[in-house]
Structure 1
């Protein structure tokens, strides 16, 4: 029997095997998990060997699957690079750029950067996936990721993107402060109503404040805990308590006077985000164009 598996099925198998998840690979590719499952099943039937062990909790490559993935990955990369050479003969490259970014960047910082990039390169489609957890973006099928202060592997390159300095700020509605009073020290927050942000992966992190050499972390409590910053801002504007978060989120209602700054001399600054990607000689044209755009507007 001649083995002639479909190239698309091989590519989808590699995506699932690297992500160790049908759902994760489907999310990165913008496809349904069932379509990826069918592609892998079709490939296994064509080859006559099981490539993935599937349970309700995990997906792991078999020995045959691992061997195939090892040989397939450089071949697929080389094929994409060969096809991408054609992009060098166009006035503007075409293709898809897949980026994995935290929610704050996708909402506040990235939109004007992406808008300018797409205006310059109408032949490129950008697929943006919000992800607040740190993941292996390459294994999940993304071209690059954007994160804050992450430790990068040796073969990763980081390029500054967006503002180089950002701040965490604390604020509350003037009506709340008139009623409850202004905290004079971060520890005073233990006696105040505090509106907490819970990250999508479940973490409820302490509020951290810095002044000189003094660092204070507060596990505040209050009437609302939410993963929605919009809900927290609305509650703060309604006078329900203090809210703590990115200045990019809270700056607009403060400038409008709906919220007032609190403990400004304790606000913490931190470095801005980085675009990071794998070092490689043959880079996909959409990613190369995006890196050039980011560097130009820095």
Structure 2
């Protein structure tokens, strides 16, 4: 496919997504686990939202935040996987310049939104454990809605300059992106100009969003653990800590791959490019796939309602 449309003009009309560099011959085989992961993420998160909507006893702060998390996972995975699979299955590598920047925004914005929702869920656990008598009066439905909207606006406004800056750079060398999606660094590295502003702002946004989120979660759980250890009996401590189990598992499934990917990208200069791209895709798909499994298995109310629905439907 010709790359001449990227030459001689400030911006190309289209970018070419190469896929996974060096593993093009294996794209069809690689697509199998990714399509399975996407199917689990898509239908699993829709199931979580359906169960919460249909069951009045689940209409509370914890489950509203869980629905926000599920909706975020659906948007995040859908913003990348369909195009990735079209590359793997149909060799459909072209993506419009504006569509590429839109995908960039959705990838980074909703990755940050997911991180913010984990902070909101940590706040919910803190109030439920440290101030249980006022939990329902502090985290009312309007307050929960405002928290969700604030997280979305925060991430949207802070992420928006990334594609806006990327739009300003001239791409006069090549329009081939060595990735399966329009990830920020993969796109701006193609610019034939000084991109330090984009690089610095991307780092600033990551620290401002996810860095502060991690700090907030650590502070929340420090206070939660202090409250748990002050309980009089071991059984009470274990039972109370058990209410945080699903949230902690989801946090680890989200942040550990993200930080490992960042460290590998920053310091793994001898690591093959295909590994970076593969692992970046796993980081985008693993949490959306695991979250409905974690909450479906570990949260008794959701587990019971799902079994009830399946048994009732089967009869």
| Shared fold per TM-score greater than 0.5 | no
Larger RCO of the pair (alpha carbons < 8 Å, separation 6+): 2
Q: Which structure has more helix as a fraction of its residues?
A: 2
Q: Which has the larger radius of gyration?
A: 1
Q: TM-score, structure 1 length as denominator?
A: 0.24
Q: TM-score, structure 2 length as denominator?
A: 0.23
